[in-house]
Amino acid sequence: MLGIVHPPLAPPVVTGLRAALPEGTVLTDPDVVGGYRFDRSNAPDAGWPLAVVRAADVADVVTTMRWASAHRIPVVPRGAGTSLAGGSLACDGCVVLSTERMRAITVDPAAGVAVAQPGALNAEVKAAASAAGLWYPPDPSSFEICSIGGNVATNAGGACCVKYGVTTDYVLGLEVVLADGRLLELGGRTVKDVAGYDLKRLFVGSEGTLGIVTEVTLRLRPAPPAAITMVAGFSDVGAAGRAVAAIAASSRPAALELMDQVSVRAVEDRIHMGLDTDCGALLLGRSDAGSEEIEAMVAHCRAEGATETYWTEDEDEGEQFMAARRMAIPAVERLGTVLIEDVGVPIPQVAALVEGVAALSAQHRTVIATVGHAGDGNFHPLVVFDRDDPDAVKRAGSAFGAVMDLAQSLGGTITGEHGVGTLKRPWLMTQLGEDVLGIQRQIKALFDPLGILNPGKAL
Ligand SMILES: Cc1cc2nc3c(=O)[nH]c(=O)nc-3n(C[C@H](O)[C@H](O)[C@H](O)COP(=O)(O)OP(=O)(O)OC[C@H]3O[C@@H](n4cnc5c(N)ncnc54)[C@H](O)[C@@H]3O)c2cc1C
């Protein structure tokens, strides 16, 4: 139990913060503050913040951090609150620093960059790039509802990342406010830059524990050619996993996503688009390199026993399949409470992982729906349970741990893109080892000696 039952009254110290910031920036109404306690991780509880700061610009962030350092108040940075790892859960007595009002985006087509404030949604960055005839590739399934600052803080991935790379591959520069209010400029607009240690990469994926990202300079690409979309049905999930390994060994698809039977059925129940609910798994593949690549993907799927294959050059139809895949998490959430995994394994181990997860589901008598960015070896087994049934809660908890143990035993990772947050901390020591974790904690102490930035998260 993290929280106290009733929100504490804002103490006098908050008065100083309120006086230092423009009117309306600091919120303490419990009904409003209550809306900033949780994220999308389905965590059962969260702390009560003293206040929420809705920063309008970098000056508000600097002021907040100076005040927080002076009074040793924890600060939880928050973008859109779509973390699936408990990264943006509030803790008792903290200030939630929300970037939702910092939304400006400018595009410089000549330099091929976008400069965005952290609260801009990923979809807004994509739209601004597209209006200038360019493309910002990273596409988390949550792209319409998550912020670019959150994407940087988690090094978010997505479907097209198998070919085009994850968030860090697009970050050229960052403006960051440290715990004590100092402002750092890291990197810039140059494509190549090896002056000193690459601190901006350290901040990417640091989950709000090292500083607050207040501006991001992103590299853009020319728009990709139109994509062809392939759908292959398999009688069992292991065969789909073997097809993934065969495809990845010989090509670099523009997307390669897997949905197992539970997730296909959950999505079909919700959107009725005629997906084959009898198949054991579906693979969705995309190619923007032409029909030869898609034909090779289809051939690999058939060689691994695909029961059905289909491909379409119709962009809208292809997008409908991808939208169905993106729908998986909300659709499975209708089956019960969900603990969302994010494991990753080397590509040759994909079949062993998905088969192993199916076996764990049976062993723990717990429904697990598996979806994932299969071409990256990154999977989201969704552990479903009834939170009012203590035995089911216990079984789901052990299944959740067993999936991470399985990934680690296959040479993989406990998190490929969602981050450690609060949910995965117990597994971090076995993932990193004592020396690496110790060095990471020293780095944290260097940037945030008082330990006020997102305490209890990541490390
Ligand atoms: C349906 C669904 C599908 C998803 N699919 C994907 C997917 O395909 N790929 C993927 O990678 N993720 C996915 N996610 C997870 C989530 O959307 C990402 O982790 C996203 O990057 C979080 O962005 P956010 O703005 O919501 O961040 P928040 O949840 O607000 O914060 C996430 C973390 O970043 C920190 N943070 C936020 N803003 C800042 C800042 N300005 N400075 C410093 N730290 C900051 C927070 O403290 C926290 O630790 C999905 C989530 C949902 C609900």
Q: Which helix (H) or strand (E) holds 70?
A: helix 58-71
| Domain at 228-409, CATH class | alpha beta
Residue 222 CB burial class (10 angstroms; 0-12, 13-18, ≥19): exposed
Question: Do residues 143 and 135 touch, judged by C-beta distance below 8 A?
Answer: no
Residue carrying structure tokens 């190549």? 192
Average pLDDT over residues 420-447: 97
458 CA distance to ligand 1 middle (Å): 13
- Cβ(86) to ligand 1 under 6 A? no
pLDDT greater than 70 at residue 4: no
Q: Which CATH architecture has domain 105-222?
A: 2-Layer Sandwich (3.30)
Q: Spell 35-48 as b/e; 16+ CB within 10 A means b.
A: ebbbbbbebeebbb
Q: CA triplet 322, 325, 328: central angle to 5 degrees?
A: 155
Q: Using pLDDT thresholds of 50, 70 and 90, give the confidence band for residue 340.
A: very high
pLDDT for 10: 66
Q: Please give the CATH number for the structural domain made up of 12-98.
A: 3.30.43.10
Instruction: Tell which one of 60, 141, 152, 166 to mutate to probe ligand 1, the residue whose CB is within 8 A of the most ligand atoms.
Output: 141
pLDDT greater than 70 at residue 183: yes
* Residue from 166, 165, 160 nearest 322 by CA: 160
Q: What is the pLDDT of residues 369-405, one digit of tens each?
A: 999 999 999 999 999 999 999 999 999 999 999 999 9
pLDDT greater than 90 at residue 13: no
Distance of alpha carbon 381 from alpha carbon 241, whole angstroms: 14
Mean pLDDT computed over every residue of the chain: 96
Q: What's the pTM? A: 0.96
Average pLDDT over residues 263-270: 97
Average pLDDT over residues 172-196: 96
- Cβ(65) to ligand 1 under 6 A? no
Question: Do residues 207 and 456 touch, judged by C-beta distance below 8 A?
Answer: no
Question: Residue 90 has which token pair?
Answer: 């509030």
- Cβ(454) to ligand 1 under 6 A? yes
pLDDT for 62: 98
Q: What is the pLDDT of residues 110-150, one digit of tens each?
A: 999 999 999 999 999 999 999 999 999 999 999 999 999 99
Query: Cβ atoms within 10 A of the Cβ of 321, count?
Result: 23
Parse the chain into domains and list their residue ranges: 12-98, 105-222, 228-409
Q: Using pLDDT thresholds of 50, 70 and 90, give the confidence band for residue 6.
A: low
pLDDT for 11: 73
pLDDT for 153: 98
Which residues, including other chains, have CB under 8 Å from residue 439's CB and lie 6 or more apart? Answer: none
Identify the residue whose C-alpha is closest to ligand 1 atom 28: 81
Report the share of the chain in percent with pLDDT over 90. Answer: 97
Question: Do residues 96 and 36 touch, judged by C-beta distance below 8 A?
Answer: yes
Average pLDDT over residues 401-426: 97
DSSP character at residue 40: T
pLDDT greater than 90 at residue 35: yes
Question: Residue 81 has which token pair?
Answer: 């609150």
Q: Using pLDDT thresholds of 50, 70 and 90, give the confidence band for residue 9.
A: low
Question: Residue 434 has which token pair?
Answer: 């004592």
- Cβ(417) to ligand 1 under 6 A? yes
pLDDT greater than 60 at residue 8: no
Q: Using pLDDT thresholds of 50, 70 and 90, give the confidence band for residue 182.
A: very high
